[in-house]
Structure 1
Amino acid sequence: MTEKKRDAPISYRPPEILREEFRARVEKSGLSVNAFITQAIFASPPPRQSRRPSVATQDLTRLLAEAAQLRAQLGTLPVEGPRQVQLHEEAVAALTDIRTLLMQALGRER
């Protein structure tokens, strides 16, 4: 019975001065290190959509969820008097603007 052996892996060790930048670029891409290097070397698109969102996308998604939570909590506050009504409307408008900008940054439609 013959066992098939895998080829030895090809490894890449970036120079010390570039390691942090390399790691940051891989993290930002949302790709695995292997897919990132393959894409960089062969200038080809990744074979499929990356499975993990980039750090920036994760942060934007978290902010979007927190803005929605703030908007929901704002709706439960009692509003009495013209000044409070005005402040409430301004806060709702600001959160709507924040949501719109976050959705645009995530590449989604409103």
Structure 2
Amino acid sequence: MTRRTKKRPAPISYRPPERLREEFHLRVMNSGQSINAFITEAVFGQAIPRARPISSLERKLAAMLLSQAARINDRLEQACGASDEGNYDLLLQECRDELAEIRSYLMLALGREL
């Protein structure tokens, strides 16, 4: 068996001070980048040319929002054809409730407070 004669250079590691560690990890998480990409962009001012990965939370939120939007559309179609006034009001209130829920999820996804 042949041995390798060339060694890879040692990786450059970064350990933020203890008091900044939590903020560092929050910034990396909010950037949507890997730690390596985040540090490279911060140090050299240029992003690594790769697509930003979509987190499973973002996928779930997007799927939920699409589902709720489809339900609202269906209910509004029902409301347009509803002849009973009470049924119409109930359908409109359900649509308003779902829109409020969609707003809450979007605010959560954007990291904002209600």
TM range (shorter): 0.5 to 0.7
Which residue, out of 14, 17, 35, partners 2:16? Answer: 14
TM-score using structure 1 length: 0.63
Q: Which residue is equivalent to 1:88?
A: 91
Amino acid at match of 1:34: N
Query: What's the offset of the Cα at 1:17?
Result: 0.7
How many residues are matched? Answer: 98
Query: What's the offset of the Cα at 1:62?
Result: 2.8
Query: What's the offset of the Cα at 1:90?
Result: 3.4
Amino acid at match of 1:53: I
Please tell me whether the aligned partners of residues 28 and 38 of structure 2 are also in contact (alpha carbons under 8 angstroms).
yes
CA distance in 2, matches of 1:74, 1:83: 19
Query: What's the offset of the Cα at 1:68?
Result: 4.1
Over 3 Å counting, the alpha-carbon distance change for 1:27 and 1:63 in structure 2 is same
CA distance in 1, matches of 2:49, 2:74: 45
Deviation track 1:47-78 (CA, whole Å, cap 9, x = no partner) reads 2122x2258xx34x4334334445549958xx
CA distance in 1, matches of 2:37, 2:73: 44
TM-score using structure 2 length: 0.61
Identity of matched residues, %: 41
Give ranges in structure 2 of 5+ residues lacking alignment: 76-81
CA distance in 1, matches of 2:51, 2:67: 29
Q: Which residue is equivalent to 1:34?
A: 36
